[in-house]
Structure formats: structure tokens, C-alpha cells
């Protein structure tokens, strides 16, 4: 994704056929190392193609994909017990257990914005 983003940025800047070195330059400007294998694959896939045409073709294909939408209706509320308050009195509220901290929630020595 980062390689494609750099390719598109160069295209917007007027470079209609960015080289691997051009893309590496953009990525290194923001402190990202380029993966040579993925970079070469991207360049070979896009060689000789107009990026605007590819984007418009992709948009057309995405428009034909069903997006799910609609979702079902909400569930009905449960009926009240026939006995009224007697049934409610019999139910004991669930005791809350103290929440255990999950080790996976720790930052593992680094933060998102460090």
C-alpha cells in the first residue's frame, strides 16, 4: 500500500512513469524503507498503463459489488412474566467479577504515537 501511495503521489506531481528510485525517494522522505520485491512487482504491473484509467476501471468494478446494507430489524423485547413482580424478585442480580487486565492490552514497550 505504501508503495502504491508513493506511486500515486508522484503521479499527481506530474511524474507519469515513476521509477523505483523515485518511489524510494518519496518513502525515505517520510522515514519508510521500501521493500524491493514489492516495489519491482508494483512497477512491473503498472508499466505502460495509465493510472487514471486503472482507477476508473476499478471504480466501475467496485460499484458492481454488493455492499451488504439493509441489515435486519431489531429483535423484539421479551414479554413480561405473567406473575408480575414475584418473578422479578426471585431473580438475583448477577454478581460482577472484577475485570482482569488482559496482557494483550499492554503497549508492549512502545506507543502508537512514539
Helix-helix angle 20-29:2-12, to 10 degrees = 100
Mapping DSSP to helix (H, G, I), strand (E, B) and coil, where does residue 83 land?
coil
Place of cell 431489531: 74
Query: C-alpha grid cell for residue 105?
Result: 492490552
- pLDDT at position 49 is 87
Q: What is the mean pLDDT of residues 6-33?
A: 91
Query: C-alpha grid cell for residue 51?
Result: 493510472
Question: Could you read off the pLDDT of 32-91 as tens digits, one per residue?
Answer: 999 999 999 999 998 888 888 988 998 988 888 887 766 555 566 666 666 555 555 556
- The CA distance from 5 to 1, in Å, is 6
Is residue 104 pLDDT above 60, yes or no?
no
- pLDDT at position 63 is 87
Q: Could you tell me if 24 and 34 are in contact, meaning their C-beta atoms sit under 8 angstroms apart?
A: yes
pLDDT band of residue 92 (cuts 50, 70, 90) is low
> In terms of C-beta distances under 8 Å and separation of at least 24 residues, what long-range contacts does 91-97 make, across chains too?
none
Is residue 2 pLDDT above 90, yes or no?
yes
Q: What is the pTM of this model?
A: 0.52
- The CA distance from 15 to 53, in Å, is 16
- The CA distance from 82 to 54, in Å, is 64
Amino acid at each position: 500500500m505504501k508503495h502504491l501511495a508513493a506511486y500515486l503521489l508522484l503521479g499527481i506531481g506530474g511524474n507519469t512513469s515513476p521509477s523505483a528510485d523515485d518511489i524510494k525517494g518519496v518513502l525515505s522522505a517520510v522515514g519508510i524503507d521500501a521493500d524491493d520485491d514489492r516495489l519491482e512487482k508494483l512497477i512491473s504491473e503498472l508499466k505502460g498503463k495509465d493510472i487514471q484509467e486503472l482507477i476508473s476501471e476499478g471504480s466501475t468494478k467496485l460499484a458492481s459489488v454488493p455492499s451488504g446494507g439493509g441489515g435486519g430489524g431489531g429483535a423484539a423485547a421479551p414479554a413480561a412474566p405473567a406473575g408480575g413482580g414475584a418473578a422479578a424478585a426471585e431473580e438475583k442480580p448477577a454478581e460482577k467479577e472484577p475485570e482482569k487486565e488482559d496482557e494483550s492490552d499492554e503497549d508492549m514497550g512502545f506507543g502508537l504515537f512514539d
